[in-house]
């Protein structure tokens, strides 16, 4: 029988020998990563990887990736705008403007320059500052009270992206078609009213609307999965 090693044991209360407790040095306890730290690092790495992949696809003009961008960060942009402006209606307008601006300036995105969320928040703050600088502030106590009392319904990402892409596509039609189609579609103006307002023949207005709507329908079908 092999001899027992009593050097690492100690006597218990009943006189039997018990193994001595293992001692951990201070350097070991400080260097050993805790499970929570390991999980945090893994989660952070995964987020950065997803963000990098999404950035690449958005920059490449992937409209489905743009829809994903809105789905991920639309609430954040709206929340920042609402905090700065204090009005749901203005915050919704700014949110749409931010994503239109983000789509137009996607070529400016750079790997490692920061998160997509930070980029969108920067655009949001600029848009809010522009709104405050170009428009006189009026008392909106009733609107603000109503906005606080009524919680915002969750935004539908698909519809929100469709509105953003519609605004962006309208801008690519060229004038006077952009103005004519916007007046007809977004302002719900009659064709005769548009022709009179712009001083154009009614037939010209109808032609611009017909061709513009065909172009818009084609572009929006590409975005809709």
- Using alpha carbons only, what angle is made at residue 116 by residues 112 and 120, rounded to the nearest 5 degrees? 130
Q: Whole-angstrom Cα distance, residue 104 to residue 116?
A: 15
Considering only residues 15 and 176, tell me which one the structure prediction assigns the higher pLDDT: 176
Q: Would you state the pLDDT for residue 79?
A: 94
Phi-psi region of 61 (alpha: psi -120 to 50; beta: other; left: phi over 0): left
Q: What are phi and psi of 18, to 5 degrees?
A: -125, 145
What is the per-residue pLDDT across 201-221, written as a single tens digit (0 to 9) for each?
A: 988 999 888 888 887 777 666
Cis-peptide, bond into residue 176, ω within 30° of zero: yes
Q: Would you state the pLDDT for residue 162?
A: 61
What is the per-residue pLDDT across 109-118, written as a single tens digit (0 to 9) for each?
A: 776 667 888 8
Domains of the chain, first to last: 44-152 (1.10.1740.10), 172-225 (1.10.10)
What is the per-residue pLDDT across 26-69, written as a single tens digit (0 to 9) for each?
A: 444 444 444 434 433 333 333 344 577 888 888 888 888 888 88
Predicted TM-score of the model (pTM): 0.42
């Amino acid at each position: 029988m092999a001899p027992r090693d009593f050097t690492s044991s100690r006597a218990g209360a009943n006189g039997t020998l018990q193994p001595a407790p293992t001692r951990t040095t201070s350097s070991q306890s400080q260097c050993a990563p805790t499970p929570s730290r390991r999980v945090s690092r893994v989660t952070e790495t995964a987020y950065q990887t997803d963000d990098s992949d999404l950035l690449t696809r958005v920059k490449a003009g992937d409209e489905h990736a743009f829809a994903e961008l809105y789905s991920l960060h639309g609430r954040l942009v709206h929340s920042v705008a609402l905090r700065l402006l204090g009005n749901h209606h203005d915050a919704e307008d700014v949110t749409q403007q931010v994503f239109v601006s983000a789509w137009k300036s996607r070529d400016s995105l750079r790997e490692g320059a920061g998160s997509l969320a930070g980029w969108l928040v920067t655009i949001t703050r600029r848009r809010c500052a522009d709104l405050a600088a170009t428009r006189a502030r009026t008392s909106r106590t009733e609107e603000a009270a109503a906005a606080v009392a009524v919680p915002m319904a969750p935004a539908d990402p698909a519809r929100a992206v469709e509105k953003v892409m519609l605004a962006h596509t309208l801008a690519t039609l060229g004038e006077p078609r952009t103005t004519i189609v916007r007046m007809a579609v977004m302002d719900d103006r009659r064709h005769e009213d548009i022709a009179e307002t712009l001083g154009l023949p009614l037939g010209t207005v109808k032609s611009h609307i017909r061709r513009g709507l065909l172009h818009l329908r084609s572009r929006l079908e590409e975005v809709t999965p």
